[in-house]
Structure 1
Amino acid sequence: MITLSALSLLDCAVVALTVILLKNVITGKRKGALPPGPKGWPIIGNALGMPTSHHWKTFTEWSEKWGEMTSFTIFGQPMVMLNSLEHAVELLNRRSTLYSDRPILLVAGKLVGWDQVITLAPYGAQHREHRRLLSRWAGTRSSVMRFAPIFEREVTKMIVRLAHQPDGLVEELKKMAGAIILDITYGYRVQNDDDPLVRVVDLAAANFSELTTPGACLADTFPILNYVPAWMPGAGWKRRAFAAARDTHSMLEIPYAMVMEQMAAGSAIHSFTSDSLEEKSSEEHHNNVKSAAGVMYAAGAATSVATMHSFFLAMICFPEVQKKAQLEIEAVVGTDRLPTLADRDSLPFVNALCTELHRWNPALPLGVTHRLIEDDVYEGYHFPKGTLFTVNVWKILHDSVNYKDPLEFNPDRFIASGEKESELDPRNVMFGFGRRVCTGIHLADATLFMACTRTLAIFNLSKPIENGRVIEPVVEYQTGTISHPPLFKCAITPRSAKAEALLHSLEVEALQE
């Protein structure tokens, strides 16, 4: 006879989990059906059929078979993929009071610490306070204009560095994006090629992208694994989580402590952190400011790098688009100076190019998942409390219902003329829905515009030629919550003698700073 004392902790856990899952299956069937989707197995659901890479492509294939709302379960956890704008707007925008929570992620959230920031924080008072702080600082296009000198300075530095190190494209993009966000958020100026704070943001952002990818962490499905000691064989995931937690702690604490020291000494520069800290002196408020600053710093820089990397890839793949943008810049700005943020409204094609970058290969192809706060019924389907909803951003932005020839890179689709209307603005999809819309959209737009226009004003971007052979890039984006292009070679050369002279003057100015 087997007694309870003879059972191991894991045996007990398996028995308990089985009872819970069977209860979920039985009660779920009793309450009503979820939308159609791939057939799963008893208990484990669709766990064995989940994609391991490029998830958005598999989910798009599923939508073609099962429809605009596709459901599946993993060990009793119901999940719904929203493959159309109509369903995403109806549920996440119009019913946002029910659909604004985030999944409870043991690893990325509780162990690594991303549940402290607005990206994964549960819906509630803390989330609303973070949104208030961020929206007040940079929540409108006009409020971002005061940061124009920062955008222009850091983009120009990147251009100067790229002229000498074209093979270091990704590192230069990280440095540029990190420098902009660090200055705006903390009043911190990046000075050297291997800045410690830029390193910190790179590590934290990479951790987030890796650990929030669907199916990346088994412990998110089986929270009982949290009780496994980190030293045990097979617990490498937990040691990895502890290392990532140290990176998150550094991301939040190091620059915040720097600003606090400067404020105590009376030497703090105006920034999101210093100005927000002056609002109140309570510990709760200071913690909210620290967490809100951290998300500006990590999420803002990481997504900007991914989109800017896509810009360079698009320009070498579609030289006719590059040329058209350069001609517009020449006609409006001339060749004696660089474009500024004030030129934005006078450059409609360049603006359309930036918009098309968000659509062509979105940095967040599956957005960030929402969690249902209480039971809901929609179009005859019953969604139990705790159901997870993910928007297939990539599918919506490549749907022929929304875009003509969606696989083409065509900025003109966003320029209305005569009877031709502009197509769906991808930013209404890419930057989230409802009460989870990204508060950094205007910062991201300004960063992208300045980087694109100044790069095109100075450089021609093309596929490199080695040994008489054109090196073709591989356009196969990497798997992750934040999806980047693969590494590719790009020839970066001054457009003309006048551009080269302007570049030289920029180098002189950079040396004098």
Structure 2
Amino acid sequence: MLSIAEVTTSLVALGTCFFLWSLFGTSRRRLPPGPGSLPVLGNIRDFPPAGELEGPHWAKHKALYGPISSLQAFGKTFMIVNDIQTAVDLLDKRSSIYSERPISVFGGEMCGFGEAVSILCTTDKWRNDRKRIHTYIGTRSAVSRFNHLIELEARRLALRLVNFPNTFVDQLKAFTGSTILKLTFGYCAAPDGNDPLVAMGNTASSIFVQSVNNLWAVDVFPFLKYFPSWLPGMGFKGVAEIYHKMVTKYLESPFEFLKSEMANGTAIECFIGHELEVCSSAAEEYEIKWLGAALYGAGSDTTVAALETFLFAMTLNPAIFRRLQNEIDSVIGQDRLPLLTDMPNLTYLEAVLKETLRWNAILPLGLPHVSLEDDSYDGYFIPKGSIVIPNIWQMCNDPLHYPEPSIFNPDRFLSLNDREPAYDPSDLIFGFGRRICPGKDFANASTSIAMAMIAAVFDVSKAEDELGKEVEIQPEFTTANGLSHPKSFRCSILPRSENAAELIQSVLIDHPYDRDDSKKIRT
């Protein structure tokens, strides 16, 4: 991220140009309101300092400047969108001119994520990649073909939570990683959850968010990538070198595994295997390789954060958890485990899922958009090339849509006393317009069945210390790795009855582990 040394080195080179631009450029036309700027530096001092949560920082702009505000820094114009309707008007209804992504020199070029679907420019390749993903898992009907796989991995998650309850975050990572790796590469992860590809994918996902979502000096001043590493402020080059090695390994390992399995005739049917069977060139093979990486990277850590938030919220709100258990007992009973076909009948579970997504906006600022042409909105000028940042955190905490937003309250999404349900936060969380996540339905299916499984067979409560006293936790979050997670917390996860314990163990009889591909991966 930007350091003082990097900013100083860069601004000396471009200060005069920016000063002239700020005097005679877009300031002649009325930009959305924003804080006053300094000559040369622009609004650099208005960006959040390291360690401050970005969502709440930019949310202050709504009270000061309205639903959309602007800043100018580093020779660029930034638009902060703090309002649902404004985001819909610009990013959904005008998606033809707001679907571009900013060029990511650090994350894309230097760290190796340049071919990732989510940051590709709106080219034919990008459209083709999204079409392929959409065809495979982009609708509820398409996802339903994999219900058995998702349900099986959710049962195995329950088994691992019995065996390793104190490492529940690791088990959530194993659940999401195992599901996506099986679907994408036909890879069977290690039964104990300690799998090299799962770990590799989670690391790469974290690196992606850090390298693409954060503003690095070289993104602003690309010529810095040509400077020698020993110069002050060039520490990002060493970071990029380390990240690039990790990204390359993450890209190659599952792909080479699958190709080897296909050559040996032992491959399991999967998305990338199907794409390789109709592949006609080395260039297309490289494109397919990145499709696999995109599916894993986009779905792993975000689903983990949602499930971690669910456990966090249930620990803090035992009455809500009991109500969820009662609904599952009423609809499903206590003699079988939940299925994805049960989900339409679990209305309170759906409300809990929506409130989980709202209460902790996993990607607080989403991914930035770029305007492809000059535009105007509500009397304000939005110049071509503006970086448009949707403040998802603010939208999910807007009291106009969600009264008392800090309180975890699933009832806001139910039709009670002739009241309309609150705005569905999944329409915010998964992106806007042509950039909406193509794996949205798969992510929702995975998250909802895992929540249902946990509520069906476990009691979740506050952990106790050595003296038997409850360990208190506070509803606090961190974005240390780029995504919003609850701050580290302890909770108790125990089977709710002997019958529940037997149901959990039944997966070993119904679907015993018959394959472990982790030993085939070179670490």
Specify the alignment match of 1:6 in structure 2.
Answer: none
Contact 1:13/1:224 (8 A) holds in 2: no
Matched, 1:475 2:475: yes
Matched, 1:148 2:147: yes
Aligned-residue Cα RMSD (Å) equals 2.0
Contact 2:115/2:290 (8 A) holds in 1: yes
Contact 1:205/1:298 (8 A) holds in 2: yes
Q: Distance in 1 between matches of 2:382 and 2:391?
A: 18
- Tell me the SS of whatever aligns to 2:376: strand
CA shift, 1:330, in A, is 0.7
Q: Deviations over 1:57-109 (max 9, x none)?
A: 01111211111101112222110111111111111112111111111121112
Q: Distance in 2 between matches of 1:428 and 1:512?
A: 37
Q: Distance in 2 between matches of 1:398 and 1:180?
A: 31
CA shift, 1:214, in A, is 3.6
Alignment of 1:174-253 (within 5 A): 174-192=173-191, 193-215=193-215, 217-232=216-231, 234-253=233-252
Contact 2:184/2:271 (8 A) holds in 1: yes
- Tell me the SS of whatever aligns to 2:268: coil
Contact 1:28/1:384 (8 A) holds in 2: no
The number of residue pairs the alignment matches comes to 503
Q: Deviations over 1:452-493 (max 9, x none)?
A: 000111111001121242212232211253211111001111
CA shift, 1:302, in A, is 1.0
* TM-score between the two structures when normalised by the length of structure 2: 0.92
Q: Distance in 1 between matches of 2:233 and 2:70?
A: 31
- Distance change (3 Å), C-alpha of 1:497 and 1:231: same
Q: Distance in 2 between matches of 1:382 and 1:262?
A: 55
- Distance change (3 Å), C-alpha of 1:233 and 1:396: closer
Q: Higher mean Cα deviation, 238-247 or 280-289?
A: 280-289
Q: Higher mean Cα deviation, 356-365 or 374-383?
A: 374-383
CA shift, 1:350, in A, is 0.9
Specify the alignment match of 1:35 in structure 2.
Answer: 32
- Structure 1: segments with no counterpart, 5+ residues: 1-9
For 1:498, the aligned partner's letter is: N
- Tell me the SS of whatever aligns to 1:212: helix
- Tell me the SS of whatever aligns to 2:91: helix
- Distance change (3 Å), C-alpha of 1:510 and 1:137: closer
Contact 1:79/1:388 (8 A) holds in 2: yes
Matched, 1:459 2:458: yes
CA shift, 1:285, in A, is 2.6
Specify the alignment match of 1:496 in structure 2.
Answer: 497
CA shift, 1:497, in A, is 2.4
- Tell me the SS of whatever aligns to 1:377: strand
Contact 1:366/1:481 (8 A) holds in 2: no
Specify the alignment match of 1:133 in structure 2.
Answer: 132
Q: Deviations over 1:199-255 (max 9, x none)?
A: 21011011122223444x222222222112235554332111111111221222221
CA shift, 1:282, in A, is 2.6
Contact 1:115/1:122 (8 A) holds in 2: no
CA shift, 1:417, in A, is 4.5
Contact 1:44/1:76 (8 A) holds in 2: no
CA shift, 1:344, in A, is 0.9
Specify the alignment match of 2:115 in structure 1.
Answer: 116
Specify the alignment match of 2:4 in structure 1.
Answer: none
CA shift, 1:197, in A, is 0.8
Specify the alignment match of 2:361 in structure 1.
Answer: 362
CA shift, 1:152, in A, is 1.5
Contact 1:154/1:180 (8 A) holds in 2: yes
CA shift, 1:502, in A, is 2.3
- Distance change (3 Å), C-alpha of 1:186 and 1:409: same
- Distance change (3 Å), C-alpha of 1:12 and 1:451: closer
Q: Deviations over 1:100-154 (max 9, x none)?
A: 1111121112111222111111122121111101100001011111111221221
Q: Deviations over 1:133-179 (max 9, x none)?
A: 11000010111111112212212112111112211011111111100
Contact 2:185/2:273 (8 A) holds in 1: yes
For 1:257, the aligned partner's letter is: E
CA shift, 1:307, in A, is 0.5
Specify the alignment match of 2:17 in structure 1.
Answer: 20
Q: Distance in 2 between matches of 1:330 and 1:469?
A: 30
CA shift, 1:509, in A, is 5.2
- Structure 2: segments with no counterpart, 5+ residues: 1-6, 515-523
Q: Distance in 2 between matches of 1:226 and 1:449?
A: 44
- Distance change (3 Å), C-alpha of 1:418 and 1:218: same
Q: Distance in 2 between matches of 1:66 and 1:14?
A: 28
- Distance change (3 Å), C-alpha of 1:13 and 1:511: closer
